[in-house]
Amino acid sequence: MTLLDDLAWRGLLYDQTPDLADHLAGGVRTAYCGFDPTADSLHVGHLLPALGLARLQQAGHRPVALVGGGTGLIGDPSGKRAERTLQTRDDVEANAAGIRGQLERFLDFDGPNAARMANNLDWLGGAGLLDFLRDVGKHFTVNAMTAKESVRSRLESEQGLSFTEFSYQLLQAYDFLVQYQRDGVTVQIGGSDQWGNITAGADLIRRAAGGQGHGLVMPLVTNAAGTKFGKTEGGAVWLDPERTSPYQFYQFWLNTDDRDAVGYLKAFTWLGPDEVEALAAEAEAAPRARPAQRALAREVTTMVHGADAADAAERAGRVLFGDGDLTSLDAKTLGEVFEEAPSVALPAARFEGDGVPVVDLFVEAGLAASKGEAKRLARGGGLRVNDEPVEAAAAVTASDAVGGAVVVLRKGKKSYALVRLER
């Protein structure tokens, strides 16, 4: 398949400018995608454009990841209901540095079609207002600018649209023109909400430089429930492991709705038609085994965090269902696995020497109403410490704590509690 055929099969070809297929087939092209530095980490919503650049590179073209250090000071009105809080220049520069490191996981920065990073603050930061209005603004009519869907929807809202954000499409169009003139960039990709900005850039290249720019946009992903992809009750799912741990990241993909799993396999992994079709057949034959979700979680976690992190996340998931060794996990991961379980913090000194009697610990953790109940449960084999059965007369010592910090208590099959040793 050609690049565009592959994108179409993956459900990622929402719209394109005329003659794009011929342009890509005519030689090695340089294509860019912009990333807005509103935080120092990308989130899963950025995976499609990052992979879009990676797929272009795999097809033999040169990708440019443009960090919007300049436009990030303004804010894009696309897809937003209200004005963005403006960031300081220092904030934007710090965020841009964090994003660069994450994009390097997806793109190859060596070889004949090596990827390149750019920051539009390099040319927007020194742009004079009068020169910009004379050289760029004269090519745009207010009629055309207000006809853009992203602008029109904001103009019709209660919040309205400031001149600052209204000017964003001129800045993004100028980005396309500058890169066309400096580095021969002829293609811009993005989400479907960027279509108006991309075509504005192609128009500016034609009018100001007599050249031809091309664009390709991918659909904005929603889930089967119709809500925005990548949002959870806890907020965004980040690519930074300090914001969203590899275990939580893996679980996000593992919990994909059955109706979305095959589509996400196409969109967010490198698996080909034969592999996806085989997983789809497995899922249809044995939906409870969730083969598509497991493959999805494994593939994306490996891509973002590495194979070791994916292995650890899988082990942690098995532990949650009693099919793994608790002691193989570190204290931090245990806390994430059992984050919804009740927890109690006790002085670490209590666990020294003879330790804390098991019956006392289960009462203090809230898993038994009394010592008598705890003794009865233990005699029946219903109490476990770090998933090992314990007797009523046993005690828990510091050596039992995973990483010297956490003890996992379990009553029956599904009632858990964490005991954290405080020092």
For the chain, give the secondary structure using H, E and C.
Answer: CCHHHHHHHCCCCCEECCCHHHHHHCCCCEEEEEECCCCCCCEHHHHHHHHHHHHHHHCCCEEEEEECCCHHHCCCCCCCCCCCCCCCHHHHHHHHHHHHHHHCCCCCCCCCCCCEEEECHHHHCCCCHHHHHHHCHHHCCHHHHHHCHHHHHHHCCCCCCCHHHHCHHHHHHHHHHHHHHHHCEEEEEEEHHHHHHHHHHHHHHHHHHCCCCEEEEECCCECCCCCECCEECCEECECCCCCCCHHHHHHHHHCCCHHHHHHHHHHHCCCCHHHHHHHHHHHHHCHHHCHHHHHHHHHHHHHHHCHHHHHHHHHHHHHHCCCCCHHHCCHHHHHHHCCCCCEEEEEHHHHCCCCEEHHHHHHHCCCCCCHHHHHHHHHCCCEEECCEECCCCCEECHHHCECCCEEEEEECCCEEEEEEEEC
Task: Just list the catalytic residues.
Answer: 38, 43, 46, 80, 84, 172, 193, 228, 231-232
291-305 helix and 258-268 helix, angle to the nearest 10 degrees? 40
User: CA-CA distances (angstroms) from residue 170 to 144, 167, 208, 297, 336?
Assistant: 12, 5, 13, 39, 45
Residue 201 · residue 207 · CB < 8 Å: no
* CB burial readout 227-245, b (16+ within 10 A) else e: eebbeeeeebbbbbbebbb
- How far apart are alpha carbons 201 and 135 in whole angstroms? 14
